[in-house]
Amino acid sequence: MALTAHQVTLITESFKKVEPISLKAAEIFYDTLFSYDPSLKSLFKGDMKQQGRKLMAMLHAAVSTLNAPEQLLPVLQQLAKRHEGYGVKKSHFTPVGNALLHTLKVGLGDDFTPETRAAWVALLHFVADTMKAEMAA
Ligand code: HEM
């Protein structure tokens, strides 16, 4: 993964600041996502609070294995296969990534520096590229 040690620190430290407000962050995330593309709403069948918790738990797992991407790889590959089953397409990663960056911006305020943003962009590209490689469409 093309992340420097400093970027790993920036991601870990910034995520720690979002975790205490994770329910709120998840709410901002889904509101933003559905404002970008309301048609994505129909893909989500479960309770959105529960879904928000799962998303934050997954991000937590991703962030905590940043120093061992070989552990993250199989997890992301399986996650991608399940997402195919949910009807997710490769093109959906752009609005999802943008909604996540917006959430971090709102949640972190001034702490979301250009350097921290760049680190998150690098991580999101890694996650999205890894997942998309497993998906047919
Ligand atoms: C950034 C990478 C992503 C991560 C880390 C992620 C994480 C998760 C997790 C942890 C779950 C819980 C179920 C499971 O583990 O299989 C889930 C479910 C789901 N995700 Fe994602 N996801 C990502 C990208 C996306 C994208 C691009 C979409 C497209 C809109 C999406 C839509 C969904 C849907 C529809 C479900 C199932 C909801 C239900 O149960 O009704 N995800 N995701």
DSSP 67: T
Q: 92: Cβ below 6 Å to ligand 1?
A: yes
Q: Is the dihedral of CA 100, 51, 125, 89 positive or negative?
A: negative
The predicted structure's pLDDT at residue 23: 87
Query: Three-class SS string for 79-126?
Result: HHHHHHHCCCCHHHHHHHHHHHHHHHHHHHHHHCCHHHHHHHHHHHHH
**Cα-to-centroid distance, 96 and ligand 1 (Å):** 10
The DSSP letter of residue 41 is G
pLDDT in tens, 26-79: 899 999 999 999 999 999 988 888 888 887 887 887 888 888 878 888 989 999
Contact status, residue 92 vs residue 40, Cβ threshold 8 Å: yes
Mean pLDDT of 7-24: 92
| Test site for ligand 1: of 40, 42, 65, 86, most ligand atoms within 8 A of the Cβ | 86
Q: How confident is the model at residue 2 (pLDDT cuts 50, 70, 90)?
A: confident
Q: Which residue has the tokens 């994505």?
A: 40
Any ligand 1 atom below 6 A from CB of 46: yes
The protein residue whose alpha carbon is closest to atom 15 in ligand 1 is 79
Which of 88, 102, 120, 126 has the most ligand 1 atoms within 8 A of CB, as the residue to mutate? 88
From the CA of 54, give the closest atom in ligand 1: 10
Domains defined for the chain, CATH in brackets: 5-133 (1.10.490.10)
Global model pTM greater than 0.85: yes
Mean pLDDT for 13-24 is 91
Amino acid in the structure at residue 102: H
